[in-house]
Chain A
């Protein structure tokens, strides 16, 4: 029974969203606002019971791990963002968070730059590697602005533009596929779960 009610509610909200394709209307507005409210409403208690209780309340008050007071006090500094006078206190937890981000820098450099560069330095034994080599060099030179893009150099950098265009085209094609997939997913729900036309 509850599942049936859920399907009807979801179908009504889906159609309300689709109604925007005709024009803006109260059904669309209602579904849009409900979505924002429900998302936040779901997130807050879920975080409270799955984060605050197991990682803050239980260790501190039930298991008496008092050393956790230090990170809690640092974390509470975020709340001072709402105070005009004490807002500066929120910079301490932000600074601490930035320090943690720094921890990932060496590994990011390794994974995102060094490994990528190493692949560029392989012997050009097949057409794919040759294309990757030409594409990378021509695009890098295209973004080198200390020399005018003229003559042979200009022609080579324009090859970089072609490579980028192909890349943008691939991304755009994938984006069209993604958006259509969302439509297909919703229609599968409406035709299958709601109307029972798909078996």
Chain B
């Protein structure tokens, strides 16, 4: 049996084992590979950060998620909520998916553990679950009056009675509509909120959907995009560098990798706030492995092709 026959017949379970080892080792022993930030993530961070310290601007987050998207989207949830809580930015959250509502509550609770001074209905408001059929009416209604469109928070209290809503009336007070989604991200907000009311929209998506959404960035219909685990890792990094050190965002500093690396020690960051970056270590090793597999597979393919050709000539 020659080389090409051997790799054609190799048991795929060996490949699974090699891949598992390639992923497990960087998780146990993080490599600390640098995280380069991309323009869509920088743009989103900058956009959200501009609302710091204001009480008449809020970030609106729609959690269109399910457990199957947790590895990619949950680190985004945590990073954005942490950014907002660190920089005193008001947050409004909603989910039109039953499982998304549970994830939303989990994310808020997990981030809030580190922010005892952040108060519900004062610094953030969880609107809770709403039926999917109400998505368009609520999205349109928020353009006129958020409190009337959504009516109550997750605990059933009327929004007009909540302190956070005193200066948050409609989309004029929304810094960005952020949909973190594993399905068709941002379409409702681009079609209705952006087209009719001109509100800024951004999305966090699973990597599968990321490429499809770049046209919206090109047109300016999206002000930012977090694509998969990489996008989450980039945002985590920016929050760690700037917001956690109370440093205002600067594009020049953001692009200076060596300066950013001096701002914190990864080993001292709580795991929940660095899980995407550690995941990217494993991702990088696995990608290299897959590239090697592809090259080996192609070598085998061309060897076999040449052997077949020689056989035919004889």
Contacts and interface: CB of A to CB of B under 8 A. Distances in A.
Contact of A181 (B20, B207, B211): B207
Nearest to B201: A111
B185 interface: no
Interface string B216-255: 0011110000011110000000000000000000000000
Given A21-B13, A43-B98, A181-B283, A118 B27 contact: no
B202 to A, nearest CB: 15
Given A111-B191, A115-B219, A174-B227, A181 B71 contact: yes
A175 interface: yes
B210 interface: yes
B171 interface: no
B72 to A, nearest CB: 5
B136 A104 contact: yes
A181 B72 contact: yes
Interface residues of A, number: 44
A170 to B, nearest CB: 5
Interface residues of B, number: 48
Given A132-B218, A171-B211, A197-B28, 14 more contacts: A104-B191, A107-B195, A110-B195, A174-B208, A177-B230, A178-B208, A181-B207, A181-B228, A182-B72, A183-B19, A185-B71, A188-B279, A191-B24, A192-B271
Interface of B: 13, 16, 19-20, 23-24, 27-28, 68, 70-72, 98-99, 129, 131, 134, 136, 190-192, 194-196, 206-208, 210-212, 215, 218-221, 227-230, 271, 275, 278-279, 282-283, 286-287, 290
22 contacts: A47-B131, A50-B129, A103-B136, A104-B191, A110-B191, A111-B195, A118-B219, A174-B208, A174-B227, A174-B228, A175-B208, A176-B290, A177-B207, A178-B207, A180-B283, A181-B206, A181-B207, A181-B228, A184-B283, A188-B71, A188-B279, A198-B271
